Amino acid sequence: MAYGKSYGLDVRIVRLLNTYGPRIRGDGTYARAVSRFISQTLAGEDMTVFDDGKQMRSFCYMTDTITGILKVAADSRATGEVFNIGNPQEITIMDLAYKVKELVGSKSRIVHGPLPPDDPKRRCPDISKVKKLLGWTPTVRLEEGLKKTIEWFKQRKETVR
């Protein structure tokens, strides 16, 4: 923002929060809860939930995230502003694990691991600014987005063999 002001540039900032959907990694140290749960259930592995799973999160499907970014990029009212792009609908990590397990039709067990350092108990975006100024809100419900993401992971698994 400071660079934009110093040089008279049209700067807009978006902060993305918990985007998920097809093509997101399901492995590695930084795998996200949605993709990790899907990968684990499809492989018949235990699902790893950190701590007691009561951490609150909100998840924004990729098409909603992209639409939000494009709204910010295309509207001159966004010049010089910072926006949170995410979905304020919250769910516990434990409920998310059960939902993924149900949608996959998996018999995977849910096991608990230690809470990573600095893991917040709650992460939920305040989207009131982007909603008021640009009229953007997410439209894809969690279950709908999960079904699409699960389907992509299933197709990928079938083609990798």
Task: Give the CATH number, domain containing residue 76.
Answer: 3.40.50.720
Angle at 10 between CA 5 and CA 11, to 5 degrees: 75
pLDDT of residue 161: 40
pLDDT of residue 28: 59
Sequence-separated (6 or more) residues with CB below 8 Å from residue 127 = 83, 84, 85, 86, 87, 88, 136, 137, 138
Sequence-separated (6 or more) residues with CB below 8 Å from residue 148 = 21, 22, 61
pLDDT of residue 35: 93
Indicate the pTM of the whole model: 0.89
Domain count, the chain: 1
Range of the domain at 62: 2-160
Give me the tens of pLDDT residue by residue for the chain, a chain 161 residues long.
Answer: 898 889 999 999 999 999 999 988 776 555 589 999 999 999 999 999 999 999 999 999 999 999 999 999 999 999 999 999 999 999 999 999 999 999 999 999 999 999 888 888 888 999 999 999 999 999 999 999 999 999 999 998 755 44
